[in-house]
């Protein structure tokens, strides 16, 4: 425990009292007040993630109970989605770029060691979050991209595999068949709905009872993206950010909007100023709206996209916010479940 703080005024007044007592030939008592006892709030094992991370926060919590490091716990949770072919926004089974190639991005930060690692446009490796951790552990770099990132992964024994599942390929083919009315591709049959352009990611932020914090974000990125496009997920300070003295935050949704405000870093900074996680995330979203170009706003000035932020502080308090109503997953120290996000705007009415 640290020593109680003493102001300069306390010291001067006490010294003056002692001096006066010496002059008068009496013993004077120092005017120090009783020592303060500073007790920090007790931390707890907790985790917060995007809505697809319910299994991730549950797994992370189980590992934290076993004493596993926060970064390893978060990555083991995220890997569940990376290896799940039914999640078309992450890892194996993720939707491809416009040429039908799956390119993955991921980043991570470890609060206690103050280290970070990331990969972008990584092809052929199912678990980019683990590759990002290897960048953190074994290099003096933070971000590796493209072919270099793949060679790095292969050098550590990762297996190169085809990440395009039949399900993702079918969705891509249907999108390609209706790209434009002016190209050589056939139109969809009348009455059949066009394929939406999904965005999706998993972010997971973890803290243990000792107040050690880590964060991970992984994604296959924007569906049908231009080959080589990189979103916010592998960008330290955008897709996720950790400060072991404060907490962690991360994001899912439109990466380009997040990159411009360094959203994860900004959310942690708002928590540093004393904001609760949810309030910090909402404040960051206000900055996003303020920096959105007019072409991406509706007639009422609301964004034509969604963006979510998830945050956790050193005490294990967590929260999330989005531009429009959404959900997120969290482990509160007792159970893992879904919660509704705070949000800035009511849902937009779809045009008919």
- Residue 261 belongs to domain with CATH number: 3.60.20.30
Q: Are residue 33 and residue 50 in the same domain, yes or no?
A: no
Q: Are residue 276 and residue 337 in the same domain, yes or no?
A: yes
C-alpha 342 chain-centroid distance: 16
Q: What pLDDT, on a 0 to 100 scale, did the predictor assign at position 11?
A: 39
**What residues contact residue 32 under an 8 Å CB cut-off, 6+ apart?**
6, 10, 14
Q: Are residue 150 and residue 299 in the same domain, yes or no?
A: yes
Give the global pTM. 0.85
Structural domain includes residue 112:
yes
Q: Which domain holds residue 87?
A: 46-343
Q: Are residue 32 and residue 180 in the same domain, yes or no?
A: no
Q: Closest by alpha carbon to 303, among 253, 263, 262?
A: 253
Structural domain includes residue 162:
yes
Look at strands 307-313 and 318-322 and give their pairing. antiparallel
Q: Record the tokens describing residue 299, joined without a space.
A: 């007639």
Structural domain includes residue 308:
yes
Q: Are residue 154 and residue 259 in the same domain, yes or no?
A: yes
Q: Are residue 13 and residue 99 in the same domain, yes or no?
A: no
Q: Are residue 149 and residue 24 in the same domain, yes or no?
A: no
Q: Are residue 53 and residue 34 in the same domain, yes or no?
A: no
Residues annotated as part of the active site: 201
Q: What is the dihedral of CA 93, 348, 226, 218, to 10 degrees?
A: -40
Q: Are residue 32 and residue 171 in the same domain, yes or no?
A: no
Q: Are residue 212 and residue 190 in the same domain, yes or no?
A: yes
Q: What pLDDT, on a 0 to 100 scale, did the predictor assign at position 194?
A: 52
Q: What is the mean pLDDT of each run of 10 residues along the chain (352 residues)?
A: 45 41 44 53 87 98 98 98 96 96 98 98 98 98 98 98 96 84 53 60 97 98 94 98 98 97 98 98 98 95 96 98 98 96 87 44
Q: Are residue 223 and residue 311 in the same domain, yes or no?
A: yes
Number of domains in the chain: 2
Structural domain includes residue 334:
yes
Q: Are residue 125 and residue 61 in the same domain, yes or no?
A: yes
Structural domain includes residue 153:
yes
Q: Closest by alpha carbon to 133, among 243, 214, 49, 231?
A: 214
Q: What pLDDT, on a 0 to 100 scale, did the predictor assign at position 254?
A: 95
């Amino acid at each position: 425990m640290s020593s109680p703080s003493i102001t300069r005024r306390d010291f001067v007044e006490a010294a003056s009292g002692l001096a006066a007592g010496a002059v008068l030939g009496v013993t004077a008592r120092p005017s120090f007040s009783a020592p303060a006892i500073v007790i920090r709030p007790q931390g707890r094992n907790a985790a917060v993630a995007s809505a697809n991370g319910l299994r991730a926060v549950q797994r992370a919590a189980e590992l934290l109970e076993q004493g596993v490091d926060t970064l390893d716990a978060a990555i083991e949770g995220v890997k569940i989605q990376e290896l799940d072919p039914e999640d078309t926004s992450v890892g194996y089974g993720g939707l491809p770029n416009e040429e039908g190639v799956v390119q993955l991005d991921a980043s991570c930060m470890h609060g206690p060691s103050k280290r970070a690692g990331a990969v972008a446009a990584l092809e052929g490796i199912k678990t980019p979050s683990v590759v990002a951790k290897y960048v953190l552990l074994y290099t003096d770099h933070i971000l590796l991209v493209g072919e270099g990132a793949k060679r790095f992964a292969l050098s550590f024994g990762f297996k190169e595999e085809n990440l395009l599942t039949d399900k993702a390929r079918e969705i891509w083919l249907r999108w390609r068949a209706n790209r434009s009315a002016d190209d050589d591709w056939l139109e969809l049959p009348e009455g059949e709905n066009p394929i939406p352009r999904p965005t999706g990611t998993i972010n997971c932020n973890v803290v243990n009872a000792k107040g050690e914090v880590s964060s991970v974000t992984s994604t296959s990125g924007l569906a049908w993206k231009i080959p080589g496009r990189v979103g916010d997920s592998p960008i330290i300070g955008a897709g996720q950010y950790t400060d072991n003295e404060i907490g962690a935050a991360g994001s899912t949704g439109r990466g380009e909007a997040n990159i411009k405000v360094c959203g994860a870093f900004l959310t942690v900074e708002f928590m540093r100023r004393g904001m609760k996680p949810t309030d910090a995330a909402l404040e960051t979203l206000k900055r996003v709206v303020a920096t959105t170009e007019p072409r991406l706003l509706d007639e009422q000035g609301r964004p034509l996209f969604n963006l979510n932020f998830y945050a956790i502080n050193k005490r294990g308090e967590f929260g999330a916010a989005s531009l429009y109503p959404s959900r997120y997953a969290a482990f509160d120290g007792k159970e893992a479940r879904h919660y509704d996000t705070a949000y800035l705007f009511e849902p937009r009415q779809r045009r008919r």
